[in-house]
């Protein structure tokens, strides 16, 4: 599959590998030839998290010859509910280290190539260029559009998966003749309008379901078998356990894969997604946890407004008045605009939106608690439960 | 005549947690107008300030994207299912 291999199938399997892959070899759709194709192939995983975990585990087990992984994160306890590539002893260590150890424990025949970096416009083409298939397991829009555009520019199939709460999406983009992610969604949502998993939560099993489907698609593409999800968007609802399929078409006026593409090189994806550095964390509307703590200790009159969900309030709270962000418009009468209001949420994103909303209603003395209750737990009250 | 409209998880916060609604309307545009009339805060999630459907929200009649049918003028019957499919962010973290 690689350029230097030119789709070669002269890769030989050792006796040990033949024994290992026996259940593949007796499948007529795979066989010795298909298994050799897998061994000659390479897949790049963007992200070693929820989706990257099952991708890495199953692609390694399946005998993909070379797995590349891009990640810059360390394993956190809150990852372990779904990121089954990592385990408790690895908490605090780089995900790449954990991933490599685990992959080699499963299959020592896999070459693992680690890219400890945040993928950006400057490095993406160089990283992706050397792989046959890209599997997108990212959690943010800038990286998703970056991976999409880079795959289109390099003509690499992009096995896409995305999850939220109980719902997942899977498709294969940038395959010959097929659509790309931009054909589906030309533009990203403005920051804050769509909640992330960190805010909205996700069923731990869901990335397992979606990521294993991505792994199956990557293997089918490499083997050239079956009907990959090209031009099809698979929707999975784990709550009803119903799946649906929607038809996707290549958009002839797509900015990157259309008939007259405007995007012929990678752009600034943070700017494209409307993200300005440290949005909401600085500026006149922000206040730090240490500042609020000392002012409360001095007995100053500060009204704390908690805009999280009730289940989050149950885990930990600062005794603030609870109005979930979505209820704020119809419950705003509960607030006294003459008092100083400090709004907090888990990490500062939702409270930032609440501050902007309240200001449009004429609230003058309203501030956003930078870093949210999580920063409070880290800096002020280490005994507080974190999530 | 009422057509079933499926509400995706991220937007259920605005529809009293309902995942599907039976709405009146002969076209997709009319259905979405009934929907946003019932749940006003949903409007800014579906439409931009100019009143156009947002580009990170796709609408399907059965399995077909309305952009490749007659857009919001696409006719619907009570046998059709309309899906609203916004982009979702999750994955890595």
pLDDT at A192: 63
Question: What separation in angstroms does the CA of A215 have from each of A9, A80, A106?
Answer: 21, 20, 16
Q: Domains (ranges, CATH) in chain A?
A: 41-272 (3.40.50.720), 286-379 (3.40.250.10)
Q: What is the pLDDT of residues B38-90, one digit of tens each?
A: 999 899 889 988 999 998 899 999 999 999 999 999 999 999 999 999 888 75
Can you tell me which residue has the tokens 């590998």? Answer: A17
**What ipTM was predicted for this assembly?**
0.90
Separation of CA A114 from chain center: 18
Q: Which of A139, A245, A251 sits opposite B91 (nearest CB)?
A: A139
pLDDT 10s digits, A120-158: 999 999 999 999 999 999 888 999 999 999 999 999 999
From B83's Cα to the closest Cα of chain A, the distance in A is 9
Interface contact flag, A326 B63, Cβ < 8 Å: no
- The whole-angstrom separation of Cα A320 and Cα B78 is 47
Q: How far is CA A189 from CA A76, A102, A168, A379, in A?
A: 28, 36, 18, 32
Contact residues on chain A for B9, CB-CB shorter than 8 A: 164-167, 237
Chain B residues with CB inside 8 Å of A233's CB? 85
- Compute the distance between CA of residue A153 and CA of residue A137 in angstroms, rounded to an integer: 19
Q: Are A250 and A257 in contact (CB under 8 A)?
A: yes
Say which of B68, B83, B90 has its CB closest to residue A163.
B90
Assign B10 a pLDDT band (cuts: 50, 70, 90).
confident
Q: How confident is the model at residue A256 (pLDDT cuts 50, 70, 90)?
A: very high
pLDDT in tens, A265-295: 999 998 888 876 544 455 678 999 999 999 9
With CB atoms and an 8 Å threshold, state whether A164 touches B55.
Answer: no
Length of chain A: 387
Q: Do A50 and B92 touch (CB under 8 A)?
A: yes
> Active site includes A151?
no
Among A47, A194, A251, beta carbon nearest to B92: A47
Centre a 10 Å sphere on the Cβ of residue A264 and count the other Cβ atoms it contains: 8
pLDDT tens profile A195-219: 666 667 899 999 999 999 999 999 9
- The whole-number average pLDDT for the span B11-26 is 92
> In angstroms, how far is the first alpha carbon of chain A from the final one?
43
- Strand A133-136 and strand A42-46: the pairing is parallel
Residue that wins the pLDDT comparison between A239 and A156:
A156
In chain B, residues with a C-beta closer than 8 Å to the C-beta of A141 are: 87, 89
CB-closest option in A169, A185, A233 to B56? A185
Residues of B in contact with A45 (CB under 8 A): none
Average pLDDT, whole number, for chain A?
92
Contacts of B64 in chain A (CB under 8 A): 246-247
CB–CB of A246 and B41 under 8 A?
A: no
Is residue A6 scored above 60 in pLDDT?
no
Structure tokens at B59: 């609408």
Smallest CA–CA distance, residue A63 to chain B, in Å, is 23
CATH class name, domain B2-86: alpha beta
Q: Which of A197, A254, A257, A273 is catalytic?
A: A197
Q: Do B83 and A244 touch (CB under 8 A)?
A: yes
SS3 A74: strand
Task: Provide the 8-state DSSP code for A249.
Answer: -
8 Å CB contact of A235 and B60: no
């Amino acid at each position: 599959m690689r350029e230097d291999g030119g789709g070669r199938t002269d890769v030989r399997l050792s006796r040990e590998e033949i024994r290992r892959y026996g259940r593949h070899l007796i499948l007529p759709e795979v066989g010795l030839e298909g298994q050799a194709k897998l061994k000659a192939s390479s897949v790049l995983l963007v992200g070693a998290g929820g989706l990257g975990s099952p991708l890495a585990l199953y692609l390694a087990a399946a005998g993909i010859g070379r797995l590349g992984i891009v990640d810059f994160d360390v394993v956190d306890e809150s990852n372990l509910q779904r990121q089954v590539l990592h385990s408790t002893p690895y908490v605090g260590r780089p995900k790449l280290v954990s991933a490599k150890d685990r992959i080699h424990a499963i299959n020592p025949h896999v070459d693992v190539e680690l890219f400890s970096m945040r993928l950006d416009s400057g490095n993406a083409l160089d990283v992706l260029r050397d792989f046959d298939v890209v599997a997108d397991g990212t959690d943010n829009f800038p990286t998703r559009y970056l991976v999409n555009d880079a795959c289109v520019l390099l003509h690499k199939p992009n096995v896409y998966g995305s999850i939220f709460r109980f719902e997942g999406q899977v498709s294969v983009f940038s395959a010959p003749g097929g659509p790309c992610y931009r054909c589906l969604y030309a533009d990203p949502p403005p920051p804050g309008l769509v909640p992330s998993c960190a805010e909205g939560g996700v069923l731990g099993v869901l990335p397992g379901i979606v990521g294993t489907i991505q792994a199956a698609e990557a293997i089918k593409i490499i083997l050239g078998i079956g009907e990959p999800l090209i031009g099809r968007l698979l929707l999975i609802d784990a709550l009803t356990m119903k799946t649906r399929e929607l038809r996707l078409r290549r958009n002839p006026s797509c900015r990157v894969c259309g008939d007259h593409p405007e995007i012929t090189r990678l752009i600034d994806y943070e700017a494209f997604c409307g993200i300005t550095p440290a949005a909401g964390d600085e500026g006149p509307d922000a206040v730090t946890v240490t500042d609020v703590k000392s002012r409360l200790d001095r007995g100053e009159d500060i009204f704390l407004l908690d805009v999280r969900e009730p289940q989050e309030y149950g885990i930990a709270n600062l005794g603030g008045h609870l109005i979930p962000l979505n209820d704020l418009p119809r419950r705003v009468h509960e607030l006294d605009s003459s008092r100083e209001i400090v709004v907090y949420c888990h990490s500062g994103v939702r409270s930032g939106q609440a501050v902007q909303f309240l200001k449009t209603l004429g609230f003058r003395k309203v501030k956003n608690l930078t870093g949210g209750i999580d920063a409070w737990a880290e800096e002020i009250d280490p005994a507080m439960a974190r999530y | 005549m009422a057509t079933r409209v499926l509400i995706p998880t991220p937007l259920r916060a605005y529809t009293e947690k309902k995942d599907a609604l039976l709405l009146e309307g002969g076209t997709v545009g009319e259905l979405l107008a009934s929907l946003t009339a019932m749940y006003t805060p949903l409007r800014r999630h579906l439409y931009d300030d100019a009143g156009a459907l947002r580009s990170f929200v796709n609408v399907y009649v059965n399995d077909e994207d309305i952009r490749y049918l007659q857009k919001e003028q696409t006719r619907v019957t009570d046998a059709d299912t309309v899906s609203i499919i916004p982009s979702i962010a999750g994955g890595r973290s």
